[in-house]
Amino acid sequence: MWMPPLEDAWQGKVQFYELIFGTWTVYVFLVWLWQKVLKEPLDEWRYVLLTFFGAGAFWINHYWLKAPFPVWLILINAYTVFYLVAWWVIGVRGRPRSLAWKAGALGGAVAYTVAFIAFENLARLGVERWGMHEFCWMTLSFFGFWWLILWRARSTVVPRQIA
């Protein structure tokens, strides 16, 4: 498989504590968006997959943000198209809703992206401006994921099988 060379100088100013904090918080946003705004709850695996794909943009921004112009532009545009198609297939396609609802749901991908970046930048702001150590954001995220798992486990009732 062909892979362009990866230079350390191409890395963006994004840290993994930002990704970890952004991931669990944007998951909450994603559930809210589909359940409260779009009024079309998704299966839990769909939330997980959309969040996983959303976090994939972090990889590009971390490792390729300062790459030469054509490399970065091709990667970010290709990933954007991939993500919008995945959002459509995972969340929108096949739903018996109006064209306006489907357009709004597709626009939700933009809102999701903005929210993800905002949560990541909140963590960055905490470290760079407020003097918090990144360990604090990792700790918040540890407990945040714990809470998220418990919250979503309560919302999804799976019948127990008796042996």
> pLDDT tens digits, residue range 21-35?
999 999 999 999 999
Residue at 162 is within a domain:
no
Residue at 61 is within a domain:
yes
Residue 133 pLDDT class (50, 70, 90 cuts): very high
Residue at 121 is within a domain:
yes
Lowest-confidence segment of 46-60, 62-76, 94-108 by average pLDDT:
62-76
Burial (CB < 10 A; 0-12, 13-18, 19+), residue 3, is exposed
Q: How many helices (H) and strands (E) does the chain have?
A: 5, 0
- Residue 149, amino acid: I
Residue at 163 is within a domain:
no
Residue at 157 is within a domain:
no
Domains held by the chain: number: 1
Question: How far separated are the first and last CA of the chain, in Å rounded?
Answer: 47
Residues of the domain holding 64:
8-144
The residue to which tokens 């990866």 are assigned: 6
| 85 vs 62, residue with greater confidence | 85
Helix axes 134-155, 99-128, angle to 10 degrees: 150
Residue at 48 is within a domain:
yes
